[in-house]
């Protein structure tokens, strides 16, 4: 069942999205060579506690962590690990979902540890651009297939990358995963029509090699590229409006000004960015 959100519900998700974006701003300060991926989990838990938000992934289908931290050839759902020490040039994907007063938001962001190699820099650039190309298709009257088609054409046909098929975007709110599913591949003009008030995620996962994933990890969660190539992901939660797609998890209200739902978002993010700074200084400086 697809739910259409009221302005009140969208504003609640906007505030939840600002909490999540604030977490990502804080993570930028702690990812560095020599730290473990567990530090990201520690920061997220302390930050969510400080904001009053709930780490919605904990307990979801038995998952135990606030974050998914996937490195290099890991596509998604990697556990944060104390023994996984980040090194110069690693490509790190941090994905999480938060629940603030019943409003959910979901966002993944990719980071490079230290300085990016040309290969990593290009993959990150193409993946992030494909995210916004997909978001730009999220207009009233367009179809779900329009989103996937533009992402697949740009990443695979124009850049020779692999566009992951096994994991897709989704509706969100009032629970974590809802209809409709939002593939990042497909045919333009196919699929359900997008309607005002739908809240969804767009989250392309792009590989340097094959699009195929290896899901044989004994954890039952971690997915890796089938050929050992690098994988990158960016994800935003957004709402479809008569004025186009509006991002609810923006980390940069200036760059994303045309995508903001209203003027309140920047103030929310400023507040939560300050909270993130305080947590970093108190526990991770």
Determine which helix (DSSP H) or strand (DSSP E) holds 135, and give its type and residue range: helix 118-135
Q: Annotated binding residue at 271?
A: no
Tell me if 242 sits within 8 A of 133, measured CB to CB.
no
Q: Is 236 annotated as a binding residue?
A: no
Contact 105, 84 (CB under 8 A): no
Phi, psi for 98 (deg, rounded to 5): -120, 150
Paired tokens of 261: 């739902």
**Backbone dihedral region of 42: left (phi > 0), alpha (psi from -120 to 50 degrees) or beta?**
alpha
Residue 278 assigned to a binding site: no
What is the distance between the alpha carbons of residues 177 and 77, in angstroms, rounded to a whole number? 15
Distance (Å, whole) CA 249 – CA 244: 16
**Bond preceding residue 174 cis, omega within 30 of 0:** yes
Phi-psi category of residue 52: left, alpha or beta, with phi > 0 → left and psi -120 to 50 → alpha: left
Residue 9 known to bind ligand? no
Task: Count other Cβ atoms within 10 Å, centred on residue 248.
Answer: 32
Q: Is 197 left (phi over 0), alpha (psi -120 to 50) or beta?
A: left
190 marked among binding-site residues? no
Distance CA 261, CA 27 (A): 25
Q: Is 242 assigned a ligand-binding role in the annotation?
A: no
74 in a known ligand binding site: no
Token readout for 138 is 């999220």
CB 267 within 8 A of CB 252: no
CA distance 22 to 191: 34
Return binding residues.
77, 95, 106, 170, 177, 203, 235
Return binding residues for a divalent metal cation.
95, 106, 170, 203, 235
Return binding residues for substrate.
77, 177
């Amino acid at each position: 069942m697809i739910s259409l959100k009221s302005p009140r519900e969208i504003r609640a998700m906007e505030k939840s999205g600002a909490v999540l974006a604030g977490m990502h701003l804080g993570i930028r300060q702690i990812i560095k060579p020599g730290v473990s991926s567990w530090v990201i989990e520690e920061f997220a838990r302390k930050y969510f506690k400080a904001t009053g938000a709930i780490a919605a992934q904990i307990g979801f289908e038995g998952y135990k962590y606030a974050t998914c931290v996937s490195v290099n050839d890991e596509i998604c759902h990697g556990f944060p690990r104390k023994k996984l020490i980040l090194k110069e040039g690693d490509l790190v994907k941090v994905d999480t979902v938060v629940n603030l007063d019943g409003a959910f938001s979901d966002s993944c962001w990719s980071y490079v540890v230290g300085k990016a190699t040309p290969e990593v820099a290009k993959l990150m650039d193409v993946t992030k651009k494909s995210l916004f190309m997909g978001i730009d298709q999220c207009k009233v009257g367009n179809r779900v297939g329009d989103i996937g088609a533009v992402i697949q054409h740009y990443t695979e046909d124009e850049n020779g990358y692999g566009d992951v098929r096994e994991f897709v975007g989704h509706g969100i709110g009032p629970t974590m995963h809802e209809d409709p599913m939002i593939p990042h591949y497909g045919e333009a003009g196919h699929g359900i029509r997008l309607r005002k008030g739908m809240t969804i995620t767009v989250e392309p996962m792009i590989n340097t090699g094959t699009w195929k994933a290896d899901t044989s990890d004994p954890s039952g969660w971690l997915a890796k590229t089938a050929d050992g190539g690098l994988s990158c992901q960016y994800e935003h939660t957004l709402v479809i409006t008569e004025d186009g797609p509006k991002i609810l998890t923006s980390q940069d209200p200036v760059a994303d000004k045309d995508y903001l739902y209203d003027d309140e978002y920047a103030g929310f993010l400023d507040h939560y960015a300050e909270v993130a700074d305080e947590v970093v200084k108190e526990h991770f400086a």
